[in-house]
Amino acid sequence: MFSGFSFHLRVQLRNEKNLLHSLNMRYFSPCLLWISWCYVSQTRAEFFTSIGQMTDLIYLEKDLVKSLKEYITAEEAKLSAIKSWAEKLDELTHTSTSDPEGYLGHPVNAYKLMKRLNTEWLRLESLVLQHTSDNFIANLSIQRQHFPTNEDESGAAKALMRLQDTYRLDSDSISKGRLPGVQDLVSLSVDDCFELGKVAYNDGDYYHTLLWMEQTLKQLEEGETGGVTKAEVLDYLSYSVYQMGDLRRAIELTKCLIAADPKHLRAKSNLNYFNNLLRQQKQDDEESDVESSESQGVKYAPPVDYLPERDTYEALCRGEGIKMTARRQRRLFCRYHNGNSNPRLLIAPIKEEDEWDSPHIVRYYEVLSDAEIERIKDLAKPRVANYGVGGQYEPHFDFSRKEEQDAFKELGTGNRLATFLNYMSDVTAGGATVFPDFGAAIYPKKGTAVFWYNLFRSGEGDYRTRHAACPVLVGSKWVSNKWIHERGQEFKRPCGLTEVD
């Protein structure tokens, strides 16, 4: 999915036939339930890609805290600093384990969990090794095999920055935990902000380096203390500004760096280099280049995987650019549907609501019970099976296009005629399913499902149905797909006479 890879887990539910009848007999016939899951690596899953997988880390961290507290009991006199650390973590893990998915639904919590387990616990290990701590070290050594890696921590940081871009969040709001729908604010320390900036810097992403180093500097100037100095921040900041093309500001920041640390090894040579570049720029064109330099400011560099439709896609994720006019809204209705007098639905008709007129998208209510949802989640958790921090699914088609004629050959079921997308969780903020071509945004509602046709009656693909899953800003998103294929539907949906029937 968002990781670029996918696989399909084939699950035959015992009550599948009854479930199909309870939905809409016009659309479905008994067929296998296919659930789309994200897959990252065949050998080792990346923790940051799945909230479901990361919940195990919360309990792992709680176990480490317990082991640490037992060690402190034995050597409390010598380990007062470690005891303070443990008490802080004890309180944190009590909160996180009370609602793991809700806790990890806040991207700052997810990032800080990665940072703690990948960096800070290992620092603690080094401190403990200075003393007799056999029991704790033994437990920590055993648990270390389950710890996130540098790649996991970096991935969580990049995901946080992806959310920042998609939802146009300023660094200060993220640092203070001010996100939509969030009541308990979780803040980023000055060291956290600095580490985010370093992740971006190491990735050659000077735009985000600038944003997070500026935030680090802001928090330092507000009086917050940490393990980073002003000179260290200015070092990264001045070079990033230079890379962004703002020579004048790079010079000013380098002067500030020299003032903060007169003995800095590179600062004076950098200042000379920047001044020489500026003089050369003036010589090339004394006026036009100067004006251009002054007006450049901070520029956003599109990511390497930038898609032409990304602007439209991300605008829809933010709730902008939705093309449902008042006139079109009047065409949408809610109804009870009995499957054309299907005996199973006469007494308890299904609740049906129009979400979009053309192409027609319908939402069904009370599709999966809580028990069914939990069963599917239990089956899926060992596979990294829900959207993680900043998890998204880039714009794609569900059907096989002409150049992909053999995509479903092994199934022998024909192309994907229609999609039935189950939402198995509510999402506090973000996580919409969007259709960039016609400007629709469909939001998750637990227990509901949305249905649309991928093919016209003629069998031609409806290219308007290209869709994407927006990254989850706050919360945890669980979905499952049922794809209805062409075979077995010939009499339920006869072929049309024209290409776009």
Q: 287 falls in which pLDDT band (50, 70, 90)?
A: low
| Average pLDDT of span 464-489 | 92
Q: 501 falls in which pLDDT band (50, 70, 90)?
A: low
- Determine, yes or no, domain membership for 150: no
- Determine, yes or no, domain membership for 75: no
| Cβ proximity of 396 and 434 under 8 Å | no
Residue numbers of the domain that contains 389: 6-44+309-485
Q: Both 243 and 343 in a single domain?
A: no
Least confident of 59-73, 171-185, 421-435: 59-73
Question: How far is residue 98's CA from residue 101's CA, in Å, rounded to a whole number?
Answer: 9
N- to C-terminal Cα separation, the chain: 31
Q: 123 falls in which pLDDT band (50, 70, 90)?
A: confident
pLDDT, position 385? 62
> Does the structure show a pLDDT above 70 at 132?
no
Which of 273, 308, 343 finishes a domain? 308
Which of 261, 289, 308 finishes a domain? 308
Q: Both 349 and 441 in a single domain?
A: yes
Question: How far is residue 42's CA from residue 436's CA, in Å, rounded to a whole number?
Answer: 32
Q: What is the 3-state secondary structure (H, E, C) of 387-430?
A: ECCCCCEEEECCCCCHHHCCCCCCCCCCCEEEEEEEECCCEEEE
Q: Both 323 and 427 in a single domain?
A: yes
Query: Residue 257's CB: how many other CB atoms inside 10 A?
Result: 26
pLDDT tens digits for range 228-264: 999 999 999 999 999 999 999 999 999 999 999 999 9
Q: Both 261 and 274 in a single domain?
A: yes
- Determine, yes or no, domain membership for 350: yes
- Determine, yes or no, domain membership for 457: yes
β-bridge partners, 440: 435
Q: What is the pTM of this model?
A: 0.75
pLDDT, position 10? 27
pLDDT tens digits for range 396-449: 999 988 777 677 777 788 899 999 999 999 999 999 999 999 999 999 999 999
Q: Both 372 and 478 in a single domain?
A: yes
Q: Both 329 and 462 in a single domain?
A: yes
Q: DSSP label at 111? A: H
Mean pLDDT, all residues of the chain = 82
Q: Both 329 and 428 in a single domain?
A: yes
- Determine, yes or no, domain membership for 273: yes
Q: Both 454 and 374 in a single domain?
A: yes
Q: Both 332 and 208 in a single domain?
A: no
CA distance to 355, 401, 483, 484, 488, per residue, from 339 (Å): 19, 31, 19, 17, 18
Number of domains in the chain: 2
- Determine, yes or no, domain membership for 146: no
Q: Both 326 and 180 in a single domain?
A: no
Question: How far is residue 167's CA from residue 445's CA, in Å, rounded to a whole number?
Answer: 20
Q: DSSP label at 324? A: -
Closest CA to 490 of 413, 435, 423, 431: 413
Q: With left for phi above 0 and alpha for psi between -120 and 50, is residue 193 left, alpha or beta?
A: alpha
Q: Both 322 and 356 in a single domain?
A: yes
The secondary structure element, H or E, covering residue 35 is strand 33-38
- Determine, yes or no, domain membership for 144: no
| Cβ proximity of 464 and 382 under 8 Å | no
pLDDT, position 500? 67
Question: How far is residue 168's CA from residue 245's CA, in Å, rounded to a whole number?
Answer: 23
Which of 256, 284, 308 finishes a domain? 308
pLDDT, position 285? 63
More confident residue, 68 or 351: 351
- The encoded tokens of residue 382 equal 């060992």
Residue 306 CB burial class (10 angstroms; 0-12, 13-18, ≥19): exposed
More confident residue, 37 or 354: 354
CA distance to 271, 288, 298, 364, per residue, from 249 (Å): 11, 18, 10, 56
> Does the structure show a pLDDT above 80 at 383?
no
The CATH number linked to 292 is 1.25.40.10
Work out whether the CA dihedral 180, 113, 50, 314 comes out positive or negative: positive
The CATH number linked to 373 is 2.60.120.620
Question: How far is residue 54's CA from residue 114's CA, in Å, rounded to a whole number?
Answer: 9
The proportion of the chain whose per-residue pLDDT surpasses 70, expressed as a percent, equals: 83
- Determine, yes or no, domain membership for 89: no
Planar angle of CA 255, 258, 261, nearest 5 degrees: 150
Q: Both 292 and 430 in a single domain?
A: no
> Does the structure show a pLDDT above 50 at 27?
no
| Average pLDDT of span 317-338 | 91
- The encoded tokens of residue 280 equal 């050369």
Planar angle of CA 3, 8, 12, nearest 5 degrees: 150
